[in-house]
Amino acid sequence: MFEADILAADLQRLTGLAADSWQVANAQLVTALRSQSASSLMIRVFVTVAVALGIASVLVVSVVQRQREIGILRAMGASRRRILGVFCCKGPWWAWAARCWARA
């Protein structure tokens, strides 16, 4: 898309005719396309951060609500690592579920 200047220079060199690229003729359009790409990237980053914070919030609430169950598991001999593994598996599951929901 942005190789039009090179192509126009090659055509001018080969044919001897004046050749302008579409980028020169439509400089405002090129600027708008680049700005749109930058703003699209910023929006994606902000949405990703918001989703990550939402998932982290859900996991924190889940841990707080399950303190009794965690205590019972610890009393029954479950290691901290095992309990941590349960919650660490839950995070990617929520991320996958959110991704599937977003695609629908």
Residues 34-67: pLDDT tens digits? Answer: 899 899 999 999 998 998 898 888 878 888 888 8
79: helix, strand or coil: coil
- Nearest residue to 23 (alpha-carbon basis) of 13, 35, 31: 31
The pLDDT of residue 50: 92
The pLDDT of residue 104: 63
- 102 — pLDDT class (breaks 50, 70, 90): confident
Residue 26, judged by CB atoms within 10 A of its CB (0-12, 13-18, 19+), counts as middle
Residue 21, Ramachandran bin (φ over 0: left; ψ between -120 and 50: alpha; else beta): beta
Q: What is the identity of the amino acid at 72?
A: I
Provide the number of structural domains found in the chain: 1
CA 10 – CA 42 distance, rounded (Å): 36
**By residue range, what is the domain housing residue 39?**
2-102
**For tokens 């910023």, what's the residue?**
42
The pLDDT of residue 39: 93
Taking the whole predicted model, whether its pTM rises above 0.85 is answered as no
CA 64 – CA 27 distance, rounded (Å): 56
